[in-house]
């Protein structure tokens, strides 16, 4: 805006002309003629006078005769141009004096007209001078504008570059940038902390192959040689062997920097993982402690129950001994035995749950294993008026399986089934547990344990494989089904559950076996 107004002022001023001629007539006539065209004419009768007027009035256009006594037109021209090079100087030459005209043009005159001055030639010369002035003015305005913008842009670039410098310097991540030859040119304090080397020993002294861990250096070299096919490395965990001897875990990502097709450098980002790893470690530790705490509390409770059973048993045995009461003795002894059994099961479950164990395949008769499990639980079932029905496929012959695991799995399932019947208080039901074994295709045996006990609702079903979840009050470890699941998985088998509250549950376990030659 300011520029435009200045331009306008000068255009208004453009009507001011300094006219220099030593011939009085000529000066008068030209002066009159110009005035009538609307020009503001300053008339001077000599070069010296003309220059004074020029200094005083600063006219944009000067019209001077060349041939003058004293200071001639060429001198005037030189001085005017020296004083203000933007001034348009038109020289008036004698008729046929081409040499002077050429001289004048060489010293920067914008035009020449011949004497005697013809009106049209003068007007044309003035018109051209004025046009040149306008263009010159515009050019100046544009230049100023351009310079201003350049200035602002440089300021902005500097601000941005300062900002980026600060960004790089204050980043917690290590930033390492190289030029196109792999020489390191940026090494920020984050990188100093990770690599344990001061910036001054690295920048412009090392290339990346001397700094990066070998696996990263290799990928970077590959990137440099492959160019556009491979431009970056995604996040990758690496171990930095610091100068101080510390191993620093870091997460790395890097990229080649391109200017259109040319590689102009590379940059690598190293995230310091020391703090994260430390926190992770603490978290794992505290979770482990919490899990141990929970396990111990749950186990302590279960063991307390067994202890109560054992104490109760010994008490009843003592009463029986004191009174010579065989019935009491038998009852008490039975209590002791049962609780010893509970401890054995608990220990076996705990070991099965906590130990990694590969299946041990041996030749065995699956039906015998299932029969054995049923016999173990017949007693308890009978005490509670529960029938254990067997339904074994007689075509199952000797196979190679892990008999101990099969036994553990079925023992857990059948004893759960018996418990489900005991927990069902529907007096009208004749409770029974059905244990089945069938051959299926693809060398799989399908074991099925079904009961018509209390059944499970959705909530219970969703939790049965959670550690220490139990619906059996103080009598459950909350480990049984977890052990079943673990063992079945270890044998590459599968487990399927159907259950309706009040109707009962069916557990189907499919286990693969090897044929015996």
The whole-angstrom separation of Cα 508 and Cα 448 is 5
Choose, by CB under 8 A, the member of 100, 171, 305, 367 that binds other proteins. Answer: 305
* 190 near other proteins, rule: CB under 8 A: no
Neighbours of 316 (CB within 10 A): 21
Number of helical H runs and strand E runs in the chain? 15, 18
Buried b (16+ CB within 10 A) or exposed e, 220-242: beebbeeeeeeeebeeeebebee
CB-nearer residue toward other proteins: 149 or 308: 308
Question: Quick one: which segment of 208-216, 239-247, 271-279, 306-314 binds other proteins (CB under 8 A)?
Answer: 306-314
| Smallest distance from other proteins to CB 334, Å | 9
* 477 near other proteins, rule: CB under 8 A: no
The whole-angstrom separation of Cα 62 and Cα 126 is 10
CB-nearer residue toward other proteins: 249 or 312: 312
* 254 near other proteins, rule: CB under 8 A: no
* 199 near other proteins, rule: CB under 8 A: no
Choose, by CB under 8 A, the member of 70, 116, 281, 474 that binds other proteins. Answer: 474
Q: Which helix (H) or strand (E) holds 497?
A: strand 494-500
Polymer length in residues for the chain: 517
* 33 near other proteins, rule: CB under 8 A: no
CB-nearer residue toward other proteins: 86 or 383: 383
User: In this structure, are residues 419 and 489 in contact, taking their beta carbons and an 8 Å threshold?
Assistant: no
* 367 near other proteins, rule: CB under 8 A: no
Choose, by CB under 8 A, the member of 223, 454, 482, 495 that binds other proteins. Answer: 454
Neighbours of 354 (CB within 10 A): 12
Q: What angle do CA 471, 473, 478 make, to 5 degrees?
A: 55
* 312 near other proteins, rule: CB under 8 A: yes
* 304 near other proteins, rule: CB under 8 A: yes
Question: Quick one: which segment of 69-77, 134-142, 189-197, 313-321 binds other proteins (CB under 8 A)?
Answer: 313-321
The whole-angstrom separation of Cα 423 and Cα 473 is 10
The whole-angstrom separation of Cα 15 and Cα 127 is 11
| Smallest distance from other proteins to CB 197, Å | 58
* 293 near other proteins, rule: CB under 8 A: no
* 316 near other proteins, rule: CB under 8 A: yes
| Smallest distance from other proteins to CB 191, Å | 54
* 301 near other proteins, rule: CB under 8 A: yes
User: With left for phi above 0 and alpha for psi between -120 and 50, is residue 260 left, alpha or beta?
Assistant: left
Question: Quick one: which segment of 72-80, 280-288, 331-339, 398-406 binds other proteins (CB under 8 A)?
Answer: 331-339
Which residues are CB-neighbours of 133 under 8 A, at least 6 positions away?
Answer: 10, 11, 14, 60, 61, 86, 88
Interaction site with other proteins (CB under 8 A): 301-302, 304-305, 307-313, 315-316, 319, 328, 331, 335, 338-339, 423, 425, 454, 471-475
């Amino acid at each position: 805006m300011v520029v435009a107004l200045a331009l306008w002022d000068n255009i208004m001023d453009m009507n001011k002309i300094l006219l220099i001629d030593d011939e009085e007539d000529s000066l008068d006539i030209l002066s009159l003629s110009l005035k009538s065209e609307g020009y503001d004419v300053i008339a001077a009768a000599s070069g010296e006078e003309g220059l004074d007027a020029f200094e005083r009035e600063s006219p944009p256009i000067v019209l001077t005769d060349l041939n003058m006594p004293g200071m001639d037109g060429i001198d005037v021209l030189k001085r005017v141009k020296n004083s203000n090079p933007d001034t348009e100087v038109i020289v008036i030459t004698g008729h046929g004096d081409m040499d002077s005209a050429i001289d004048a043009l060489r010293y920067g005159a914008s035009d020449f007209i011949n004497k005697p001055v013809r009106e049209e030639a003068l007007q044309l010369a003035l018109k051209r001078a004025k046009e040149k002035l306008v263009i010159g003015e515009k050019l100046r305005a544009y230049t100023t504008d351009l310079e201003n913008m350049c200035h602002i842009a440089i300021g902005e670039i500097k601000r941005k570059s300062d900002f980026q410098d600060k960004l790089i310097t204050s980043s917690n991540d290590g930033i390492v940038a190289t030029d196109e030859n792999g020489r390191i040119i940026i090494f920020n304090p984050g990188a100093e902390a990770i690599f344990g080397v001061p910036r001054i020993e690295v920048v412009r002294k090392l290339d990346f192959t001397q700094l990066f861990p070998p696996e990263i250096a290799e990928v970077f070299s590959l990137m440099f040689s492959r160019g556009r096919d491979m431009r970056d490395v995604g996040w990758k965990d690496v171990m930095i062997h610091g100068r101080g001897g510390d191993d620093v875990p870091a997460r790395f990502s890097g990229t080649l920097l391109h200017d259109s097709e040319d590689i102009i450098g590379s940059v690598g980002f190293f995230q310091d993982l020391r703090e994260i790893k430390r926190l992770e470690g603490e978290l794992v530790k505290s979770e482990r402690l919490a899990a141990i705490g929970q396990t111990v509390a749950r186990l302590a409770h279960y063991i307390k129950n067994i202890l109560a059973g054992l104490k109760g048993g010994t008490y009843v045995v003592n009463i029986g001994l004191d009174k010579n009461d065989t019935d009491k003795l038998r009852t008490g002894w039975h209590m002791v035995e049962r609780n010893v059994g509970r401890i054995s099961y608990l220990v076996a479950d705990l070991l099965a749950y906590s130990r990694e164990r590969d299946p041990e395949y041996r030749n065995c008769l699956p039906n015998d294993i299932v029969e054995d499990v049923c016999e173990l639980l017949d007693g308890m079932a009978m005490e509670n008026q529960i029938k254990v029905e067997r339904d074994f496929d007689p075509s199952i012959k000797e196979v190679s399986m892990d008999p101990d695991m099969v036994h553990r799995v079925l023992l857990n399932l059948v004893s759960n089934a018996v418990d489900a019947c005991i927990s069902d208080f529907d007096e009208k039901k004749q409770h029974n547990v059905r244990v089945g074994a069938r051959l299926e295709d693809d060398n799989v045996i399908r074991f099925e344990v079904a009961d018509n006990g209390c059944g499970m609702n959705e909530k219970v079903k969703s939790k049965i494989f959670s550690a220490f979840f139990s619906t059996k009050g103080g009598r459950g470890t909350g480990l049984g089904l977890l052990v079943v699941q673990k063992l079945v998985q270890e044998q590459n088998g599968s487990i399927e559950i159907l259950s309706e509250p009040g109707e009962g549950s069916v557990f189907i376990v499919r286990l693969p076996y090897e044929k015996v030659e």
